[in-house]
Amino acid sequence: MKNTYTIKDLLSLLWNHLMLIIAITIIGGIAAFSFSKFVLPVKYSSHITMYVQSYTGISENAANDVNNISNSKQLVNTYMEVLKDDEVMNAVSAKLLEQYDEQDLRRVFSFDEDNKIDPASIRSCLTISSVTDTSAVTITATTVNPNLAADICNDITQVAPKYVEEAVGVGSINTIGKAKVYKKPVAPNNTKNGILGMAAAFLIVVMVILIIDYFDNTIKESEKIAKKYDKAIIGEIQQFGEGKKKKKGKHRTEPRGLLTDKDVPFNIVESYKTIRANILFTAADSDKKVIAVSSPNPGEGKSTSAANLAIALAQTGSAVLLIDADMRKPVQHRTFKIKNDEGLSTLIIKKSSMAKSVKSNVINNLDLLPSGPLPPNPSELLASENFKKLLEQFATNYDYVIIDTPPVNVVSDAMVMKDSISGIMLVIRYAMTTYEELANCMKQIELAKVNMLGFVLNDVHHNHGANYYNYKYKYKKYGYGYGSYGYGYTYGNNPTEETKENENAD
């Protein structure tokens, strides 16, 4: 949740959602215009003007005429209230029932228990107003029938004098001519309603964007977390490689794409080169060049980042080993399209040899140790002396060892190997990882006293330069608990029979 906004923040936020704002505004205008044109009834209007005199006749004395006009003005408001009275409306109702068929009137007005037109129903289609600085009163009727609108105005002028005389007792009210029938509709104003719809849609979408952003607690500013935890930002990776659809309506949760893919953009390659350089600098003081890669939660890109970091290191000519230590939901064997019948799990318990478990040269200078068959006790295997000895051997045989570990907030696997690694690189996902999730992750890292190398902000969509970010992703949380791993596998099972759900693993 943000506490303050600057003008720059607001403009940047709205600019990032400019296309959405434009689209919603246009849709709102089209919807309002269509509703006005095809749903709202067409209405017609007619009017007539009544003139109030305080005394009948014209005086030969000009001063008296001026006084009459002044008195007439004072009577206007009183006469207007009389014209709205139920008795006047009932009289108009009686005339309309003589002029029109009752069924036709029922389509326009509501009726009371006595089968008379409800006075309020007639009053609702009337506008009675005074003309400024005159003693004139204008009556305007608006209905779906142009003839009916004119007849209402004319009927009022016929019944009004009687009720005005009875109620007020002085003065008179006169008319000139009769109300005319106008065939041109006065409502609805489709253009005006369309513009109002656009304005309303614009205001609504802007308010929704501001409210969502105000309560959004996801990480979008790398500098903020670097300052808060006093840790380096190793790099930022723009969004690419969203993954293929596995089923209708479902997508991979992790943004995928390897540096060896032909369609990887140049800026992504450069981002990983920057991460490589920063990692080498950060871990320069460590005797062990064994680096764990993890994330607070599933689906934040740590497996892809681990693979690409290993590739980037291998491209320098260094001998690199990538270990898939996520023995709950492994993905590296699929990423590099190799078999997983033997790997880390079988190697730790000495049921396979080094030569069979480690897949050599999956790309130049890069070897891969897949997870192997899924064990029932991955944390115990990673905490075992056998695994520590393996890492020592790997550290001797390779220039760099990159370990893909499970999410920190889910299981403690990454923490148990603290004494065997140079440190941990934490991958967080732009606009998905929350500050609370990161805080919980960092608390566990600090309690375990694991060396924290720094953060990688993943899946950032840069738009119009580095100062503007726009993030879009397809994300669906999935279970990453013990019940979702499918521990029915035992050593020797064919790993190609693993559940398809593991394809979502990160």
Question: How far apart are the C-alpha atoms of 442 and 450, rounded to whole Å?
Answer: 10
Question: How far apart are the C-alpha atoms of 449 and 159, rounded to whole Å?
Answer: 95
* pTM passes above 0.85: no
Total residues belonging to the chain:
506
pLDDT tens per residue across span 277-292: 999 888 877 777 999 9
Whether residue 2 has pLDDT greater than 80:
no
pLDDT tens per residue across span 304-317: 999 999 999 999 99
**What pLDDT does 504 receive?**
46
**Angle (nearest 5°) at CA 439 between 450 and 405:** 45
Which residues does 307 contact at the CB level (< 8 Å), separation at least 6? 258, 322, 332, 335, 336, 404
Residue type, 382: L
φ, ψ for residue 121, nearest 5 deg:
-70, -40
Whether residue 324 has pLDDT greater than 90:
yes
Mean pLDDT of the chain: 85
Question: How far apart are the C-alpha atoms of 360 and 366, rounded to whole Å?
Answer: 7
Which residue from 311, 245, 319 is spatially nearest to 276, judged by alpha carbons?
311
Q: What is the mean pLDDT of residues 439-446?
A: 96
Cβ atoms within 10 Å of 383's Cβ, excluding its own: 15
Provide the H-helix boundaries in 39-144.
Answer: 62-83, 86-99, 102-106, 119-123
pLDDT tens per residue across span 380-424: 999 999 999 999 999 999 999 999 999 999 998 999 999 999 999
**What pLDDT does 57 receive?**
45
Structure letter (DSSP) for residue 469: B
Contact present, 41 and 144 (Cβ < 8 Å): yes
Q: Which residue has the higher pLDDT, 164 or 468?
A: 164
Q: DSSP labels for 163-204?
A: HHHHHH-S-EEEE-S-PPP--S--B--HHHHHHHHHHHHHHH
